[in-house]
Amino acid sequence: MTVATSRTTLRRHLFDRIPGLGVSLTADSIQTDGITSLLVFGHSEEGDRVSEGRYIYRPDLTGNDRVKITTTLNGTTGKLSHGGSAYTNTSDLNCELLALHPDELNACIQRALRHVYLETHIALPAFLDADMQTAGVGNWAVGGSAALSKVTAATNVFPGGGTQALFINNGAANDYAESPSIRVPQNTGVFVAVIVRADLGTFSLQLYDVTGAAVFGTAVTYDDEGWARVWRQDTTPSGCEEMTVRLVGVEATADIYVDCVLGPYYQGQRRFLAQSWLDERFKLHGLRPARYARSIAANIDDANSRYFTEDWQRGRDFYLETLHREANPYVIQLQSEIGGKDIWIAGERPLSDVDTLTTEAATTFGPLEQVLAYAEKEVAEILVLRQPEESRWKELLARAEKKATLETLARPGLPRQRKRIFWSGIPGG
């Protein structure tokens, strides 16, 4: 089972893999001008040769007390002195002695996550934060007195639907969250679907004509706690140039969880802005139109009955434009219309997008050995550049590159689904 590993733990694993990189210790005492540990530094015969110019890192502290450069070592007392300004905190005994600056070492760990990819299914977006994976709720407008937030508890995020969902906590009847405005042609068919659960009260899917300042079409409502796909097909009003999607809680006590919004896709549309992490073609494996095996009611399907019968093939059915210098650099171009389906992106997303490891307590669920192999490679590359005459660093880099490659090969991706053709309801071809 994959478990969460903190940045601190990853760094200390690297101490065991790279001789001389660092050591963690609990000091006997802290003085304003150094740290003392008889166990680690006492009776040292190496003296200043190995201690000078290293970094004392106190990971639990900030500011002046966080990092100091070492100067001298007293092997009799076990005191390692630093040459910086005096410590103000002399009670926290958690320390590390490092050969690299801790910010540099932590950056190696973070860069390692760029090489580890997560296979993911995520909604093909029609507007920013339709997949609910952007931090915060800045892309969603509040209607009424609702309190909006992003939640990460497993019960409130659709399985396989990303790391978080939008929570709409009503303060009054008919409060709502409203999407950004989406440009659409008038008198044109649109399709919208939402993956949603109503923990309390009733959810209503409404479409709003921004140009005409009016709700249009017939709302679809849902009032169960299980995850459902609520969908609509409507026609934009005459004169409509922009529309929004409104996610409404009907009762004043309604609590609504929305995992993602698919659409609005309008009739004839074949170009869609891609998520920012889809900046290289290999990250987009395929597009998958979804089917649902169980219908709950008209325009409502059991979201957990979703299945895929085919992959749209890159090149034949779609392609990803990666025009990095353009105002809209990443665009998915379809070769045919969506045709009233919800479309899911099957892709490989860098783990660094999800696990930022910006603090010591921050964790990653990446495979431990794979993450460590790439982190070791990142550290080895720095050591080779700094000391090119040292053959041991070149040997370390060669071993790390081999380990990283083997760890990646040990985790092959899932095979793509071939297109299936249905004749008279019988699958074949």
**pLDDT per residue as tens digits for the range 340-362:** 788 888 888 888 888 889 999 99
What does the block give as tokens for 165? 């969902």
Torsion of CA 135, 139, 142, 143, to 10 degrees: -140
Nearest to 27 by CA among 18, 17, 37: 37
Angle of CA points 325, 327, 333, to nearest 5°: 90
Nearest to 178 by CA among 117, 244, 222: 244
Q: Which DSSP string corresponds to 318-349?
A: EEEEE-TTSSS-EEEEESS---S--EEEEEEE
Task: Give how far the C-alpha of residue 144 lies from the chain's centroid of Cα atoms, to the nearest Å.
Answer: 30
pLDDT of residue 429: 39
Task: Check if CATH label 2.60.120.260 holds for domain 121-269+288-307.
Answer: yes
Tens digit of pLDDT at every position of the chain (429 positions): 568 899 999 999 999 999 989 999 999 999 999 999 988 887 655 544 556 789 999 999 999 999 999 999 988 899 999 999 999 999 999 999 999 999 999 999 999 999 998 888 888 889 989 999 888 999 999 999 999 999 999 999 999 878 899 999 999 999 999 999 999 999 999 999 999 999 999 999 999 999 999 999 999 999 999 999 999 999 999 999 999 999 999 999 999 999 999 999 999 989 888 887 888 888 888 888 889 999 999 999 999 999 987 778 777 888 888 877 777 788 888 888 777 788 888 888 888 888 889 999 999 988 999 999 999 999 999 999 999 999 999 999 999 999 999 998 887 665 555 555 444 444 443
The SS3 assignment for 227 reads coil
First to last CA, the chain: 38
pLDDT of residue 75: 84
Task: Give how far the C-alpha of residue 224 lies from the chain's centroid of Cα atoms, to the nearest Å.
Answer: 29
Nearest to 39 by CA among 50, 27, 51: 27
The whole-model pTM stands at 0.76
CA separation, residue 20 to residues 15, 76, 315 (Å): 7, 22, 50
d(CA 367, CA 364): 9
d(CA 47, CA 378): 29
Say if residues 259 and 230 touch (Cβ distance below 8 Å). no
Q: Residue 142 burial by CB count (10 A; 0-12/13-18/19+): exposed, middle or buried?
A: middle
Q: How many CB atoms lie within 10 A of CB 219?
A: 16
Domains of the chain, by residue range, sit at 22-98, 121-269+288-307
d(CA 34, CA 58): 12
Q: What distance separates the 2 farthest-apart alpha carbons in the chain?
A: 88
d(CA 357, CA 313): 35
Say if residues 188 and 243 touch (Cβ distance below 8 Å). no
